[in-house]
Structure 1
Amino acid sequence: MTDGQSSPTNDAQIVVSGLTKQYKNVLAVNNLSFTVEPGRVTGFLGPNGAGKTTTLRMLLNLVTPTAGTATIGGRRYPDLADPLRHVGAVLEASSAHKGRTGVNHLRVISAAAGLPRQRADEALALVGLTPAAKRKFKGYSLGMKQRLGIAAAMLGDPRVLILDEPANGLDPEGIRWMRGFLKGLAAEGRTVLVSSHLLSEMQLLADDVVIIAAGQLVRQGTVDQVIGSMAQGVRVRVRTPQADALTAALAQGPATVEADGQGALLIAGVDAPTVGRAALTAGVELHELTTERPDLERVFLELTAGKAGIR
């Protein structure tokens, strides 16, 4: 632990409080507050222009807030002692001199930060780039550059990792590796904050999510809590040539029925067996009877609908 005044339980906690950023006539972030806990992967989600990158840049002291605070372990980033050992961050694909090898790129960073030379080799091994250690940066694919950026962020063995779109350029195998890697870091008690547009992947990766739109908080909670908060919840999808008869058969119960505009009925308030029994009793022919459970993508689109990005 690098900060002697932080307790073991909060030295890696991220707290954003009333954070605001005004760019002339554009309010990029508007009174935003949320908390990111150690030992968990938190997905930071929002439409394009929602203010995600601006928020991360304020957290890392790359942009000065108009109002509010963003702290890591109770301190602003510039007030951290030896920040590279406390926070690792990747806000874009790694950049390096095109003629420098991957390992030499990391050795330069290590030397500048006063870290042992061997940390470059250890960080490369951590992200699976040891076979490409002596390849020049100009020969790296985008996915390899992403891994090199993560290796650079891990040089100081930080308690907090902040990543902006880390899966860009990764193939399916690389995305699966990333998922296991980040989950492993969280399991060690580190704080992992990840901004991403890959909602299906975030549902697999994240323990918690913070969803923003137009610079404001829309929803925060565990993935299950956020998905469970969706008003429509579980629905039954039905296709039948006798839609009116089935609707009438369900009219006396708690079910609500609506057309999806694609020839199917979406039924809420009852489960699939109840719908099937009602159809059998009424002599209604069914062509499809499936249960639809909300996923993170559906919830995200519902929560952010009509809330255009502002950046």
Structure 2
Amino acid sequence: MGGPEPDEIVVDHLTKQYKRLRAVDDLSFRVRPGRVTGFLGPNGAGKTTTLRMLLGLVTPTSGTATFGSRRYHDLEEPIKRVGAVLEASSAHRGRTGRNHLRMICKATGLPDSRADEALALVGLTPAAKRKFKGYSLGMKQRLGIAAAMLGDPRVLILDEPANGLDPEGIRWMRDLLKALAGEGRTVLVSSHLLGEMQLLADDVVILAAGKLIQQGTVDDVLGSMNAAQVRVRTPQPAELTAALDKLNATVTAQADGALLITGADAAAVGHAAFTASVELHELIGERGDLEQVFLQLTAGKAGIR
């Protein structure tokens, strides 16, 4: 593997030990520019601890977390290199959204005009003069992203950015992050919304109990597991189940009377039915989804942290 690109996130043998608890355990992965990478794992998997080490908020026990080859604290003008939202935006309750962003601009040497540009980017221009105490959770999420984008950073790190957003807001978030990645930026997103991550992400990194479980493109990760399903309708479910037992396939009866089969593709199911003289009324191959693969990969590995 060659040297990292300047805007590439590089986590290399990263470990964080808290007394008897190892929150992150010898973790290594890369996040490439020009792509959205989903950072996934059960509660307590070590995702937030990893992001905090990447941003210099937590000191690693060992290993490194860098942008290219430089730690966050070593970046020149980090606000122009890295934008991050680790929780919903917080601000003085009596301050407007615009003034909140202008305060950040003043503290970091950015022109005030960036506040209005960032508000426009996240669709908050109509609420620019509204006080923060009147913002909904979804509006606070948008304001947090606006703050992260003030420096027009090349790297964006978001922890559960869809929290508090309605379906329209979630779609807006998806379109925004895809557009930012399309501009060549590096986008790392932690989320529990696996269906949304399947639509949003190009790549995924999956953790459990502080360890790397799987990484790669969404298509590769889906293809690496036996995630395909076959939906079947038959008047002879017992006979078909017996025939599929020989293939070590799993058959699950559905509420609508269909059988859902994993562990065998449509061709194998059809052949097994033909050999056993089982009549089929429906045979549909269905691609497995990210949630199914995630649950297979992390089964029994969730931690409590």
Q: Is the 8 A contact 1:26 1:310 kept in 2?
A: no
**Aligned counterpart, 2:303:** 309
Query: How many aligned residue pairs are there?
Result: 300
Larger CA deviation: 241-250 vs 140-149: 241-250
CA deviations 1:64-121 (Å, max 9, x no partner) are 1111100012100000001011100000000000000000000000000000110000
Q: Using the TM superposition, give the Cα deviation of residue 58 of structure 1 relative to its aligned residue in structure 2, in angstroms.
A: 0.3
**Aligned counterpart, 1:19:** 14
Q: 5+ unaligned residues in a row in structure 1: which ranges?
A: 1-6
Q: Is the 8 A contact 2:227 2:292 kept in 1?
A: no
Q: Using the TM superposition, give the Cα deviation of residue 266 of structure 1 relative to its aligned residue in structure 2, in angstroms.
A: 1.6
Q: Is the 8 A contact 1:51 1:310 kept in 2?
A: no
Q: Distance in 2 between matches of 1:265 and 1:84?
A: 50
Q: Distance in 1 between matches of 2:18 and 2:244?
A: 54
1:260 aligns with 2:252: yes
1:242 aligns with 2:236: yes
1:143 aligns with 2:108: no
Alignment of 1:59-70 (within 5 A): 59-70=54-65
Q: Distance in 2 between matches of 1:261 and 1:249?
A: 15
Match of 2:35 among 40, 61, 74: 40
Q: Is the 8 A contact 1:237 1:267 kept in 2?
A: no
Code of the aligned partner of 1:84: I
Q: CA RMSD in A?
A: 2.2
Q: 5+ unaligned residues in a row in structure 2: which ranges?
A: none
SS at match of 1:226: helix
Alignment of 1:274-293 (within 5 A): 275-276=269-270, 279=273, 284-286=278-280, 288-293=282-287
Q: Is the 8 A contact 2:15 2:63 kept in 1?
A: yes
Code of the aligned partner of 1:260: T
Q: Using the TM superposition, give the Cα deviation of residue 289 of structure 1 relative to its aligned residue in structure 2, in angstroms.
A: 2.9
SS at match of 2:12: strand
1:10 aligns with 2:5: yes
TM-score (norm 2): 0.92
Q: Using the TM superposition, give the Cα deviation of residue 17 of structure 1 relative to its aligned residue in structure 2, in angstroms.
A: 0.5
1:295 aligns with 2:289: yes
Q: Distance in 1 between matches of 2:260 and 2:104?
A: 59
Q: Share of identical aligned residues, percent?
A: 75
Q: Using the TM superposition, give the Cα deviation of residue 309 of structure 1 relative to its aligned residue in structure 2, in angstroms.
A: 1.6
1:167 aligns with 2:162: yes
Q: Using the TM superposition, give the Cα deviation of residue 286 of structure 1 relative to its aligned residue in structure 2, in angstroms.
A: 3.6
Q: Distance in 1 between matches of 2:265 and 2:119?
A: 53
Q: Is the 8 A contact 1:102 1:136 kept in 2?
A: yes
CA deviations 1:143-194 (Å, max 9, x no partner) are 0000000000000000000000000000000000000000000000000000
Q: Distance in 1 between matches of 2:129 and 2:173?
A: 22
Alignment of 1:76-225 (within 5 A): 76-225=71-220
Q: Distance in 2 between matches of 1:265 and 1:223?
A: 23
Q: Distance in 2 between matches of 1:114 and 1:236?
A: 58
**Aligned counterpart, 1:4:** none
